[in-house]
Amino acid sequence: MKQLTTMNEYTEAKQGKSILMFSATWCGDCRFLDPFMPEIEAKFEDWTFYYVDRDDWMELAQELDIFGIPSFVVFNGGQEVDRYVGRERKTPEQVEAFLHGLG
């Protein structure tokens, strides 16, 4: 998973098929998903995954109405196409079900 490091990178990511995973180092529910993410990414190789540290990107999180983590925001061709946002712990199965729904 790529780590979002610049606003330019965010702008470019939105233009392609990208999934932004908003997370934070202190978030236990986020860390729960960490071991499963490489396998999930491999199953959805048409998409580029970006790790977005919510604490480092607070303004972007607010702009995108991300107030609970872990959260996923999906972009394709410059448009947001879907999101899986909330504070609750997400299982790998729930994340995969959401991604399968992207089409």
Positions annotated as catalytic residues are 27, 30
Q: What is the CA radius of gyration of the chain?
A: 12
DSSP code for 40 = H
CA distances from 48 to 14, 30, 53, 78 (A): 10, 19, 16, 14
Can you say whether residue 48 is alpha, beta or left, with left for phi > 0 and alpha for psi between -120 and 50 degrees?
beta
Residue 78, classed as helix, strand or coil, is coil
